[in-house]
Structures are given as C-alpha cells and as structure tokens.
C-alpha cells in the first residue's frame, strides 16, 4: 500500500510504502532531508502510521529510499489547491482547474466514443445474424434489401465513432452483394 504524507512545517512531501510480508515501511521524499527532518518523520510514522494500522508488527523496519522526483508534481498540486471563501475565488486561484476540466471532458468524450463504437459493433453483429437467418429461410428480396440498407446505415454510424473504418462490402454476406 502506498500513501502520500505532507509535513507543512518542513514543506516536505513523502510517499510511504507498507510491506506486510517483510513488516517494513519504506518512504521517499521530494527533496533531500536533514537528519532532524528524517528523525521527525520517522517518529511520526512509527507513532501514527505503524502503531495505528499495523499493531501486530513488533519491530518495524523503516527504510528511507531517498529522493523521488515524481513527488514534486504531487507537492505542486497539493500546494496549488488552497481553500478559499467562495467557489469563484477557488476557480481563479486554481491553475489546475482548466487542466482538470479538460481531462474530464477528454475522458467523457473517449467514453462516449468507445460506448458508441461498441454499441454499433454489437448492432452490426446482431443484424448480420438476423440477415443470415433470413437468407437461410429464403426471404424475399425486399426483406433482404431492407437488411442491406440497415447494415449500410449501421456501418456508417460505426465509422463515425471508430478509428478503424469498415467497408460495407467486407461485412455483407455474399447473397446481399448482388
């Protein structure tokens, strides 16, 4: 399990990793720590983290892994989001707001695209199965023409959402290609 901790007095962000198998706790910081800072952090971890969540651990081993520069990004995000009195102030003071909104918008668009692609893919498959049953039952040409028209529309809709374009002639049964 990994967790992030922020120590405001020293302005230090650390990432803590628990290992149940070896009964150890490893941590890294976003910058070099002085001996005093390390002692304070380790004392806090032993008193608050280990004793509360892992009471069965007798002698817990603490390992300082050194500097993890990826934590700088976490610290910057943490420091950039400050509580404000109103939502308008929060929007103005938070430089990540537009970034977050863009990410959310992108994720929603990707979800919609994926869902629509899957929907039309399944619809094409079920329509093809119906068409084959009709062909095997010697259906009328008008009925088969309707299925062909439906498949053309479904393929067009699928191609609007999919990165992998499909040609109607590649999926039509031979009996409908006439």
pLDDT digits (tens, 9 = 90+) for 6-39: 888 888 889 988 777 777 888 999 898 899 989 9
The pLDDT confidence band at residue 85, using thresholds 50, 70 and 90, is very low
* Long-range contacts of 18-22, Cβ-Cβ distance < 8 Å, separation of 24 or more: 18/53, 18/54, 20/54, 22/61
Q: What mean pLDDT comes out for the span 64-77?
A: 83
The pLDDT confidence band at residue 168, using thresholds 50, 70 and 90, is confident
H/E run at residue 63: strand 61-67
Backbone angles phi, psi at 108, to 5 degrees: -65, -45
Contact (Cβ atoms closer than 8 angstroms) between residue 24 and residue 62: yes
Residue 88: pLDDT over 70: no
The pLDDT of residue 158: 92
* Long-range contacts of 55-62, Cβ-Cβ distance < 8 Å, separation of 24 or more: 57/23, 58/23, 59/23, 60/23, 60/24, 60/25, 61/22, 61/23, 61/24, 61/25, 62/24, 62/25, 62/26, 62/27
The pLDDT confidence band at residue 55, using thresholds 50, 70 and 90, is low
H/E run at residue 111: helix 97-136
| 3-class secondary structure, 140 | coil
Q: Strand pairing partners for 90?
A: none
């Amino acid at each position: 399990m990994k967790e992030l901790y922020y120590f405001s007095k020293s302005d230090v962000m650390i990432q803590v990793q628990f290992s149940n198998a070896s009964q150890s706790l490893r941590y890294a910081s976003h910058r070099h720590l002085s001996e005093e800072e390390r002692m304070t952090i380790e004392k806090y971890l032993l008193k608050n983290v280990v004793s509360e969540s892992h009471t069965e651990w007798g002698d817990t081993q603490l390992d300082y892994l050194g500097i993890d520069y990826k934590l700088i990004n976490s610290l910057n995000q943490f420091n950039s989001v400050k509580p404000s009195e109103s939502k308008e102030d929060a929007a103005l003071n938070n430089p990540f707001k537009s970034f977050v909104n863009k990410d959310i918008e992108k994720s929603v668009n990707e979800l919609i695209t994926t869902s629509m692609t899957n929907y039309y893919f399944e619809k094409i498959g079920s329509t093809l199965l119906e068409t084959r049953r009709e062909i095997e039952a010697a259906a009328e040409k008008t009925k088969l023409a309707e299925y062909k028209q439906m498949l053309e529309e479904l393929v067009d809709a699928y191609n609007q959402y999919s990165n992998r374009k499909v040609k109607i002639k590649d999926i039509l049964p031979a009996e409908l290609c006439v």
